[in-house]
Amino acid sequence: MPTLRVGLLLVPGCMPSGLFAVADILHAANLRCGRELFKTVWVAESREPVVCAHGVTLTPEQTLAEAACDAVLVPDFWAYTIKQVWRVLDANAALAATLARLPAHVALGSYCTGVALLARAGRLDGAAATTTWWLADAMRERFGDVDWQFHHNALFTPTLATATGANGHLAIVRAFVERHCGAQVFQDIRQWMVLPRPSHTLPVFQGLQLLFQQQPLLRRLQLEVERLPAREATVERVASLLATSPRTLSRRVKEGTGESVASQVRLVKMNQVSERLLLTGDSVGRISDALGFSDESSLRRAFRQLTGYTPKQYRQAFKS
């Protein structure tokens, strides 16, 4: 696979923290895979230094037009009112025009207020997109050709990604890494870099995180089960990985949770399913394959038994 050039776009007044985070995660992906799959390049409308939020000044390596990127990430920028957003768009009309002229095959991603720049460039016309909730009415009114779906916190196509919130870059880079490197690579990166997990409304998943963080054995169990394909996550296999016997493991898990090892294994795998339902646009079939379930129907059945929701219902209920 050729190295993918990912442009980190500097916009006056932008918050560059998300860009730095994406650069670090893509570098980690290169280290994990043992080769340069991603090359990040700092780009802007011109080669002049860009004053970002809080007076931080960064100098681009190339202009956006000359960088020949395979993907470009547009960051968010500080704005407290709709009028401020419109002022930023007006001040960056030339940049929006450059974004509009990028080849159709260039993948574009943005989050929070930065999505407005993609909308101004016309790159969202006819596509499903989302952005931060307080912009919803104004964006719908000004950019009526976009299929706004504000009930989603992230939406993806092969060449477009939009997300809500100042941390929306995490959902975007996760989908990007998983698409090009596989789900396991991102899971490893998440553990190495201690990336935040998505929050869940259902108490069953909230309780899992609290419980597993407090008990070292359960934390180790969680990490091992996450690495295993679901069809291989038996009590015997997990006990072996934890260097204990199935009987001892069963006793200690029962003491710590009141549940069986099998129940805890199922909870961990369903938590992984729920994360992908909320943070990606992947089909249930693709999620089933990525997590190593024997078939899609067994995933659907287990998820509904635990949560009371089908995967589709869960995504609709909790992705906003």
Considering the domain architecture, whether residues 241 and 176 belong to the same structural domain is answered as no
DSSP-assigned letters across all residues of 227-257? HS-GGG--HHHHHHHTTS-HHHHHHHHHHHH
Considering the domain architecture, whether residues 144 and 252 belong to the same structural domain is answered as no
For the domain that residue 19 is a member of, what is the CATH number? 3.40.50.880
CB-based contact 113:132 (threshold 8 Å):
yes
Considering the domain architecture, whether residues 49 and 179 belong to the same structural domain is answered as yes
Considering the domain architecture, whether residues 60 and 180 belong to the same structural domain is answered as yes
Domain boundary among 138, 158, 184: 184
Instruction: Flag whether pLDDT at 151 surpasses 80.
Output: no
Residue 289 lies in a domain: yes
How far is the C-alpha of 140 from the C-alpha of 201, rounded, in Å? 28
Which domain does 165 fall in, by range?
4-184
Residue-level pLDDT at 259: 87
Considering the domain architecture, whether residues 230 and 144 belong to the same structural domain is answered as no
Residue 195 lies in a domain: no
Considering the domain architecture, whether residues 280 and 136 belong to the same structural domain is answered as no
Q: How many domains does the chain have?
A: 2
- DSSP-assigned beta bridge partners for residue 72: 7, 108
Considering the domain architecture, whether residues 41 and 151 belong to the same structural domain is answered as yes
Considering the domain architecture, whether residues 28 and 129 belong to the same structural domain is answered as yes
Residue 135 lies in a domain: yes
Considering the domain architecture, whether residues 106 and 220 belong to the same structural domain is answered as no
Residues 176-195 have pLDDT tens digits of: 998 899 888 888 898 788 77
Residue 190 lies in a domain: no
Least confident stretch, 60-69, 277-286, 292-301 = 277-286
Residues 1-60 have pLDDT tens digits of: 789 999 999 999 999 999 999 999 999 999 999 999 999 999 999 999 999 999 999 999
* pTM metric for this prediction: 0.66
Mean pLDDT of the region 108-113: 96
